Amino acid sequence: MSRNAGKLLLAALLLAGGAPVRAADLYIICNSQVSLDEADVRELFLGEKQFAGALKLVPVDNSAAQRLFLGRVLNMSAERYSVTWVKKSFRDGINPPGVVGSDAEALASVRRTPGACSYITTPPTTGVAVVGRL
């Protein structure tokens, strides 16, 4: 009886945990040497900010989470983002961010590259600084 009750309780907990469909969290991550605020992140990915003190910043786009990032942080469409960087590049000679294809690649890139920042949807473990969570 107690075992059945336990199973029922476990099933109820699982259902309760999964019932409301949550939008994915977005984690803005940077190399551990970097210290930025949310406004800086926006400027970084629009090409308006390239340095944090003496450290050259390296934005890295993560195509797996880009739609979420563009909507929540930059508040622009992918097309507009692309055009923004074309103009930035043409006007100021700044190349657009490099692109990786997954959270794992984004994490590896940020861990390895001084000044790098990116965004992922899986909770980061160690080795990176979480600048923001949205």
Partner 1 sequence: MRTTNYAPAMCARAWLGAVLATGLGLTPAARAAEDDKARIAELEQKLDESLKMIRELSHKVDALEAREAQRTGAAAAPAAAAAAAAVPAGAAPVTPAVATAPGSAAIAGPAAPADTAARVTQLEETVSQMAANAPQHPEDRGLAMHGFADVGAGTHNAQFPQYQGADIAELDFFLTPQLGAHTRALFELNFEVGANGDVGVDLERAQIGYQFSDALTVWLGRFHTPYGYYNTAFHHGQWIAISLRRPRFIEFEDHGGTMPAHTVGLWLTGSQRLGDQKLTYDAWIGNSQRITGGTLDMNNAGVPRGSVMFGGNVGLLMSGALDGLKVGVDAFQTRIENQDVAPPYFTQVQSYGTYAVYDTDRWEDIAELHFFRNTDLTGHTGQHDSHAGFVQLGYRAGRFTPYARYEKGSFDQSDPYFAAQTDGNSYDREALGLRFDIDLSSALKMELAQTRFTDRYVTSYGEALLQYAIRF
Q: Are strands 116-120 and 58-62 parallel, antiparallel or unpaired?
A: parallel
H or E segment and range at residue 117? strand 116-120
Question: Binding partner 1 by CB under 8 A: which of 46, 49, 121, 134?
Answer: 49
Is residue 90 part of the contact set for partner 1 (CB under 8 A)? yes
* Residue list 91-130, contact with partner 1 (CB under 8 A): 91-95, 98-100, 102, 104-105, 108-109, 111-113
Q: Are strands 116-120 and 98-100 parallel, antiparallel or unpaired?
A: unpaired
* Span of 12-20, 22-30, 63-71, 75-83 interacting with partner 1 by CB under 8 A: 75-83
Lookup: tokens for 85: 């960087």
Among residues 25 and 92, whose Cβ is nearest to partner 1? 92
Helices (H), the chain: 2-18, 38-45, 66-69, 78-92, 103-112
Residues that bind partner 1 (CB under 8 A): 48-51, 54, 56, 58, 60, 76-77, 79-80, 82-83, 86-87, 89-95, 98-100, 102, 104-105, 108-109, 111-113
